[in-house]
Structure 1
Amino acid sequence: MWSQLFANIVWSDIGTATLATLYMVGVSTLMAFVLGLPLGVLLLLWSKDNLMKNSWLYQTLSVIVNIVRSVPFIILLIALIPLTNLIVGTSIGVTAAIVPLVIGAAPFYARIVETALREVDHGVIEAAQSMGASTWTIVWRVLLPEARPGLIAGITITAVTLISYSAMSGVIGGGGLGDLAVRYGYERFQTNVMLVTTALMVVLVQILQMCGDRLVHHFSRRT
């Protein structure tokens, strides 16, 4: 029964699609971290009663972040096709899918960064200020190290979210497991392909979450 169910699956295509998904998620997670971390830091610094309080800048950045976060990803994919074409020269394929993935994930991670930094004990910040530390010294030497477990947990959540986003990118030919599920599992009614791609994505999520939890536990003990 099992041999018949998976008899017509081209496993080389499954392997290629899995590698494409890992590439998309890996690069997108890295870029979301690079962009989202400073955005989250600025959201904290510019917020009320903080180190660089600026209500106008905070409200402007906060609105932009909220707008991007509130747009359903499938709509964002389509809306960003012109920008994707401008940046990578095409709107289909694995590399093209990275553009909307990053734009969708960076604001998401920025809010997580802001929340993690807010949880840092104000006493530690005040102690650094009393010793004459500058704002950016406090950010690099106090806020980010103290919030490290929360930041790691946040990037883990972001990476897991990006796996589901990468699957949605298959609707517009983004490549990866999602694209395979759409082209074979949905359009050609190959339920077995749908089952395999879904199972692989579940496995990827479990591995990412397990690794993230271990890192959070490790750095929580150190702090």
Structure 2
Amino acid sequence: MAEFFASKDWLEAVDIVKTEVPLAIWETLYVTLISTLIALMIGLPLGVLLAVGDKDGIIPLPAPLRHFLNILINLLRSVPFLILIVVVAPLTRLIIGKAFGTAASIVPLVIAAFPFIARLVESSVREVNPNIIEMAQSTGASPFQIITKVLIPESVPSLISNITIALTTILGYTAMSGAIGGGGLGKLAINYGYYRYKYLVMIITVILLILLVQLFQSIGTKLSVVSDKRLKKK
């Protein structure tokens, strides 16, 4: 054991961890949180719209528009993320100024994440008890009031749980983006673990990614429990 910790590979891995891992962790957190925030800004209203836009919904949407939104979301969700990065490279270059790099990975991450978040939000909103909606309608509440004061508040625990799932999924996408120029822990794992055969570095980055997932999941679960009014009543 002592020989292992004194070996050249271990010492090189420790040096890389000290010099490059802190920046890689920061890049991963930065890209993950910013991408999730932007995707949430797009996916939340879209998911609510899909949930209330049914034929018999609160705000019925025209059938062609409803079908178009569903097809668009299903189409974007079906494209593998690595392929999506390449496909949207021109758009990324137009927005960021370059197609590859830490900041550039935000564009494909948002495009990959917002349809996923929209479906999760739609599922959360549909879980709200219909009796509560009917009660709000009977009081003369407008569709906007029902959405903002009934549907969204009632679905907050489920929304937090689903957003946590989206956050951990995006974190996994950031690791994949390292394979083709993205920054963060994924880039570190690819550059050292795959190209230079420094498997200790790859193992360390994988462990760090697992710890980040556990951290996000723990925080999300705690917030979901705290916000659940049904548990408070008990």
Tell me which interval the TM-score lies in, with the shorter structure as reference length.
over 0.9
Q: Determine the C-alpha separation between the residues in 1 that align with 2:66 and 2:198.
A: 49
Closer/same/farther in 2, CA of residues 32 and 84 from structure 1, 3 Å limit: same
SS of the aligned residue for 2:11 comes to: coil
Could you list the runs of 5+ residues in structure 2 that have no partner in the other structure?
Answer: none
- Report the counterpart of residue 105 of structure 1 in structure 2: 113
- Once the two structures are TM-superposed, the CA of residue 137 in structure 1 deviates from its matched residue by 0.7
**Which amino acid letter does the alignment assign opposite residue 18 of structure 1?**
I
- Kindly state the Cα deviation for residue 53 of structure 1 after the two structures are TM-superposed: 1.6
The answer for the alignment partner of 1:8 in structure 2 is 12
- Give the CA RMSD over aligned residues: 1.2
- Once the two structures are superposed, residues 97-116 of structure 1 have per-residue CA deviations (whole angstroms, 9 ceiling, x without a partner) of 00000110010000000000
Q: Is the 1:46–1:57 Cα contact (8 Å) retained in structure 2?
A: no
CA distance in 1, matches of 2:89, 2:10: 35
Q: Does 1:149 align with 2:152?
A: no
Counterpart-to-counterpart distance in 2, 1:118 and 1:183: 44
Amino acid corresponding to residue 5 of structure 2 in structure 1: W
Q: Indicate the residue corresponding to 2:145 in structure 1.
A: 137
Moved more, 190-199 or 3-12: 3-12
What corresponds to 1:162 in structure 2? 170
Unpaired stretches in structure 1, ≥5 consecutive residues: none
Equivalent residue pairs, number: 223
Change (3 A) 1:161 1:126: same
| 1:3 Cα deviation from its structure 2 partner | 4.7
**2:55 corresponds to which residue?**
48
Rg: which structure is higher? 2
SS of the counterpart of 1:7?
helix
Q: Say yes or no: does 1:76 pair with 2:76.
A: no
Runs of 4+ in 1 over 4 A off after TM superposition: none
> 1:120 & 1:3 partners in 2: Cα distance?
59
- Give the counterpart letter for 2:66 in structure 1: Y
Deviation at 1:86?
0.5
Structural mapping, 1:1-223, within 5 Å: 1-4=4-7, 5-9=9-13, 10=16, 11-54=18-61, 55-220=63-228, 221-222=231-232
Using the size of structure 1 for normalisation, the TM-score is 0.97
* Structure 2 counterpart of 1:155, one-letter code: I
Superposition deviation, residue 124 in structure 1: 0.7
